[in-house]
Amino acid sequence: MFDLTRFTGHDMKIGEKLTEFNWGLLFLITLVSCIGFAMLYSVADGSFSPWAMRQMIRFAAGVVIMIGVALIDIRLWMRAAYPMYVVALMLVAAVDIVGFKGMGAQRWLDLGFIQLQPSEVMKVALLLALARYFHGLALDEVSRIRNLIVPLLLVVVPVGLVVKQPDLGTAILLTISGGTIFFAAGLAWRYFIIGGLAVLGAIPVIWDRLHDYQRNRVFTFLDPERDPLGAGYHILQSKIALGSGGLFGKGFMAGSQAHLNFLPEKQTDFIFTMLGEELGFVGGLFLLTLYCLTLIVAFNTALQCRNQFGRLLAIGVAVSFFFYVFINTAMVMGLLPVVGVPLPLVSYGGTAMLSLMFAFGLLQSCHIHRNLEIGRN
């Protein structure tokens, strides 16, 4: 047995915290991001502008944010959970009012100095709020219906707003993140079965409310060859790019699909395709392995946590991260319909990178304060 009291106090020194900081995780994240920089460099035909350099700056800022967030006491985060959620919710709602359209969807909020994507903020805030809520419930209280009203609202309200924007990808991710916390908190299986059935039943209703382009994506997913020059074009070209990469790829900066613009959105959603084309099966598998290792580290943190808030937050961050990776890669491989989900740490995008680093900061905070026991109240 080691001395627990050493960690139960609220006054861990900065030095101690830095010692407990999971440097391995930062290393993995940096490695993944570097692959991203390389791909962005390649997309720009061997140039740091316009993407690679800015992405590197954001990553550097992200690392600072991550360390900053990590060093803040986990109990502070617990206290800040609800207020942050409220702010995020207002931001999301604000987009509907003052946000401007980007790519046919209202997603951005111009704060003057930065174009903020409130849905990204919401992803983190939702995890915090739900973890905070379930932290306060004993196991046998979790499955009581009256205790589920609040967390359900926490999920449904932002999801509804995001769907209206419309940003189906984020809505799905928010739902999944929320569901993960419900699941990890120990919600009885029957709710998941009921929920699953409810989703199945709601499909016709949802289908009715989908935009044409969203429906087309589903049709296209079911049969990409249906319209190879139209809606099926992206996914077909993506498969061609991946497939033609072969075992070792066409070589760095030598992907014809990507460089001749057959590949759409290659600096964002389809960046994994480009990697697959240029670096082949080996390169793609290497990146997936790095993601796996990152997840293992994150799960390890979650399992080591001695407080429920940290556990739920850590696993929420980990599983959300996993779904980002999975939805994006499965999409570019033609396993899922096209949804606008970037590849975490690799795709070009400022808010996504910063909010992800923020989330990893929270994970690190869970890790640093993993031995801290926090009462339910």
Partner 1 sequence: MAIDRRDTSRYKTFTRRAIILGGAQAGAFLVLGARMYYLQISKSDEYRMLSEENRINVRLIAPLRGRIVDRYGTVLASNRQNYRAVMISEQTPDVQETLNRLARIVEITADEQKKILRDVARAPRFIPVTVTENLTWEQFAQININEPDLPGLQPDVGETRYYPFSTQLAHMVGYVTPVYQRDIDKSPDEPLLRLPGFRVGKSGLEQTYDTVLRGQAGASHVEVNAYGRVIRELSKDNGKPGAEVVLTIDMEVQKYACERLEGESASAVVMDIHSGEVIACVSTPAFDPNQFNTGYGVAAYKALIDNPYLPLTNKSQAGLYPPGSTFKMITSIAALRKGINPRETVHCNGKYALGNHLFHCWKKGGHGSVNMHEAIKHSCDIYFYEMAKRTGIDEIAKAASEFGLGQTYDFEVPGEKPGIVPTREWKRAATGESWQQGETLISGIGQGFLLTSPLQLCVMMSRIANGGMAVKPRLTRAIGGELVPMPPAPMIDVDPAFLKVVQDGMNGVSNEPGGTAFRSRITEAGFELAGKTGSAQVRRISMAERDGGVRKNEALAWRLRDHALFVCFAPVDKPQYALSVVIEHGGSGSGAAAPVARDIMLKVLKRNLVREQASLHPTDLPSHEGHSHAPHSTVEQG
Nearer to partner 1, 99 or 151 (CB): 151
Instruction: Confirm or reject binding of residue 16 to partner 1 (CB under 8 A).
Output: no
Nearer to partner 1, 215 or 239 (CB): 239
Shortest approach of partner 1 to residue 18 CB, angstroms? Answer: 26
Shortest approach of partner 1 to residue 254 CB, angstroms? Answer: 12
Alpha-carbon gap, residue 162 to 166, rounded angstroms: 6
Shortest approach of partner 1 to residue 58 CB, angstroms? Answer: 26
Which contacts of 231-239 are long-range, i.e. CB under 8 A and separated by 24 or more positions?
Answer: 233/264, 234/264, 234/265, 234/270, 234/338, 235/331, 235/332, 235/334, 235/338, 237/262, 237/263, 237/264, 238/263, 238/264, 238/270, 238/273, 238/332, 238/333, 238/334, 239/333, 239/334
Binding mask 50-89 for partner 1 (x = CB under 8 A): ----------------------------------------
Which of 170, 177, 329, 355 lies at the binding interface for partner 1 (CB under 8 A)? Answer: 329
User: Strand 115-116 relative to strand 105-110: parallel, antiparallel, unpaired?
Assistant: antiparallel
343: which DSSP letter? P
Token couple for 19: 């010692």
Which of 280, 337, 342, 361 lies at the binding interface for partner 1 (CB under 8 A)? Answer: 280
- Whether omega for the bond prior to residue 166 falls within 30 degrees of 0, making it cis, is yes
Q: In one letter, which amino acid is 103?
A: M
- What's the maximum distance between 2 C-alpha atoms anywhere in the chain? 66
Which of 311, 367, 369, 370 lies at the binding interface for partner 1 (CB under 8 A)? Answer: 311
Using the structure block, give the residue that is written with the tokens 């720009």.
44
Which of 29, 171, 184, 366 lies at the binding interface for partner 1 (CB under 8 A)? Answer: 184
Instruction: Confirm or reject binding of residue 193 to partner 1 (CB under 8 A).
Output: no
Alpha-carbon gap, residue 295 to 275, rounded angstroms: 21
Instruction: Confirm or reject binding of residue 139 to partner 1 (CB under 8 A).
Output: yes
Q: CB of 123 within 8 A of CB of 355? A: yes
Stretch that binds partner 1, among 46-54, 123-131, 196-204, 279-287 (CB under 8 A): 279-287
Interaction residues for partner 1, span 214-243 (CB under 8 A) = 237, 239-243
Q: Which residues contact 318 (CB under 8 A, 6 or more apart)?
A: 295, 298, 299, 301, 302, 363
Which of 180, 351, 355, 365 lies at the binding interface for partner 1 (CB under 8 A)? Answer: 180
Shortest approach of partner 1 to residue 113 CB, angstroms? Answer: 35
Alpha-carbon gap, residue 184 to 286, rounded angstroms: 29
Interaction residues for partner 1, span 240-269 (CB under 8 A) = 240-247, 256-257, 259-262
Shortest approach of partner 1 to residue 205 CB, angstroms? Answer: 27
Stretch that binds partner 1, among 81-89, 97-105, 300-308, 345-353 (CB under 8 A): 300-308
Please name which of 31, 67, 83 lies closest in space to residue 357, comparing C-alpha atoms: 67
Instruction: Confirm or reject binding of residue 301 to partner 1 (CB under 8 A).
Output: no
Instruction: Confirm or reject binding of residue 47 to partner 1 (CB under 8 A).
Output: no
Shortest approach of partner 1 to residue 48 CB, angstroms? Answer: 22
342: which DSSP letter? P
Q: CB of 338 within 8 A of CB of 331? A: yes
Which of 186, 214, 219, 371 lies at the binding interface for partner 1 (CB under 8 A)? Answer: 186
Interaction residues for partner 1, span 335-364 (CB under 8 A) = 335
> How many residues of this chain bind partner 1 (CB under 8 A)?
53
Q: CB neighbours (10 Å) of residue 111?
A: 11
Residue 115: strand pairing partners:
110
* Binding-site ranges for partner 1 (CB under 8 A): 4-5, 8, 138-140, 180, 183-186, 237, 239-247, 256-257, 259-262, 276, 280-281, 284-285, 288, 291-292, 295, 299, 302-303, 306, 308, 311-312, 315, 319, 322, 326, 329-330, 333-335, 373
